Amino acid sequence: MITSALPLLFVVAAIVLLAATRNLFASSPFVIAAQVAALGLNVWARRSFQKGTFRVSAEPGGDSIIRRGPYRFIRHPMYSAALLFIWASVVSHLSALTLAIGISVTAVAIARVLAEERLLSVEYLEYADYARATKALVPYLF
C-alpha cells in the first residue's frame, strides 16, 4: 500500500485540506519563497526523468539510477519538495490542525522513502554506493 499511489493522494489531500482551511498560503515573503522553491524543486526533479520512466508508484521505472538534476544532491527531491511546501504552510499557520497535517505527511513520506529505498536497493546493485554519496531528503544533512 505504501508503494502504491496512495501516499501521493495523501499529500494532495493534505494540501487541499490546508487550502480549504485557509492555511496553505501566507503573506510572508519567506513562506512564499519556500513554497516557490519547493515547486521549482519538484519541477526540476520531474524533468530529470527520462521519457516514459516516471512512475507514481514506488516501482523503479528506468534502466539505471537517476543521478542528474537534483538527484545529484538528494535521492528523493520530490518528497523533499512536498515536505518543504507543506511545512512552510504549517509554520506560517501554526495550530494543532496544521501541525497534525505536517506530522502525518512527514510520517507518510518517510515510510514511502524507506519502502522505495528497499525496492531500489534490490533493483540496482549500485544503489548502495549512490545512497552513501547522497542524502535522502535534505542535501548535506539527512
Model confidence pLDDT, tens digit, residues 38-52: 999 999 999 998 776
Check residue 53 and give its pLDDT: 61
Please give the pLDDT value at position 103. Answer: 98
Q: To which residue does cell 497535517 refer? A: 101
Q: Structural domain boundaries of the chain?
A: 6-18+29-49+65-133
Residue 55: predicted pLDDT: 64
- What percentage of the chain carries pLDDT values higher than 90? 77
CA distance 121 to 125: 6
String of b and e for 31-70 (b: at least 16 CB within 10 Å)?
beebbeebeebbebbeebbeeeeeeeebebeeeebbeebb
The DSSP code sequence of 57-104 is SSS--SSS---SGGGGTBS-HHHHHHHHHHHHHHHHT-SHHHHHHHHH
Residues of the chain with pLDDT under 50: none
Q: What is the pLDDT of residue 54?
A: 65
> How much is the pLDDT for 60?
67
